Amino acid sequence: MVKKFKKTFNIGFNSILLAFGLYFFLVQHKIAPGGVTGISLIMANLFTILTVGQWSLLLNITLFILAFFLMGKDFGKKTVLSATIISLAIMFFEKYFPNTILSNDMIINIVFGAGIESYALSCIFFNDASSGGTDIVAAIFNKYFRISLAKSLFAIDFLVVMLAIKEFGIEVALYAVLCVVIQSFGFNYFIQGLGRKIAITVISDFSNEINQMILGKYKRGVTLYKAEGGYSHKKRDIILTVVPFRKYISIKDDILKIDKNAFVFTHSISEVLGEGFTYGVFE
């Protein structure tokens, strides 16, 4: 129950953060960053009867109805939450901060807008949701036409940029292209960072004591490898455990307290699946 609440809270918070980055750094400067927000910005400029946030909400509702019939009723329940919050948050910013400009420097707006958006989106994905919008279109194309998600999303973003050239001019559209590129690199960086853990390997004559310490004090899973020294031919256990980065220093210190001559080496892991991490006993 607590884990479900934390996921829902993270989805909601990062959806608002995503809307903040989109509105204050991109939408306010007519930069169409692809996706539903980019389409909504163009539509709001063409048909002023609705604002960007209202167009976003209308388009997302339409896409979710389409997904319901084409993808099934269980498709993306958490995505509905995220997409709705993003649209409502943009509408809130439009109403209460209509003329707020944080910076007139386009490079600053591109970097911060794309950076905040990619970070928030990676957090939303990390909590098993998405921001909806063109993700739904890509999923439909993937299911019915066997077009990959990456190709579908690229084609949609490319189409949005082409429309932006006509509506806002080539210079602003080029800023939008730069924004999409930064978003892509930023998303990949952040999504790997959020799942990143550290693997600790320990070779020691006190492997039993170190094993008990990791299991008892830190509640982390441990794997023991049977090994033999290449020179001494002495048999011993090699300890392997995978932990969050924040726990590494304290575990390392405790290992060295047990055996100051322990041979310890580590390496980073971008993602871990399984007991203790994604559906764990130890979390």
Looking at the fold, whether 79 and 183 belong to one and the same domain comes out as: yes
Q: Is residue 279 part of a domain?
A: no
Query: Percentage of the chain surpassing pLDDT 70?
Result: 88
Looking at the fold, whether 136 and 230 belong to one and the same domain comes out as: no
Looking at the fold, whether 14 and 129 belong to one and the same domain comes out as: yes
Looking at the fold, whether 58 and 177 belong to one and the same domain comes out as: yes
Looking at the fold, whether 20 and 139 belong to one and the same domain comes out as: yes
188-201 pLDDT, tens digit per residue, is 777 766 667 888 99
Looking at the fold, whether 78 and 119 belong to one and the same domain comes out as: yes
Q: What is the mean pLDDT of the chain?
A: 82
Q: Is residue 278 part of a domain?
A: no
Neighbours of 260 (CB within 10 A): 8
What total of structural domains would you count in the chain?
2
Looking at the fold, whether 71 and 145 belong to one and the same domain comes out as: yes
Whether pTM > 0.75 for this model: the answer is no
d(CA 147, CA 75): 19
pLDDT at 214 over 50: yes
Looking at the fold, whether 213 and 261 belong to one and the same domain comes out as: yes
pLDDT at 142 over 80: no
CATH of the domain at 233: 3.30.70.120
Last residue of a domain, one of 170, 194, 218: 194
Looking at the fold, whether 45 and 88 belong to one and the same domain comes out as: yes
Cβ(42)–Cβ(61) under 8 Å? no
Last residue of a domain, one of 194, 226, 251: 194
Q: Is residue 280 part of a domain?
A: no
Looking at the fold, whether 180 and 203 belong to one and the same domain comes out as: no
48-100 pLDDT, tens digit per residue, is 888 888 988 888 888 888 777 776 665 566 677 888 888 899 999 988 998 88
Residue-level pLDDT at 108: 92
Domain housing 184: 2-194
Looking at the fold, whether 80 and 136 belong to one and the same domain comes out as: yes
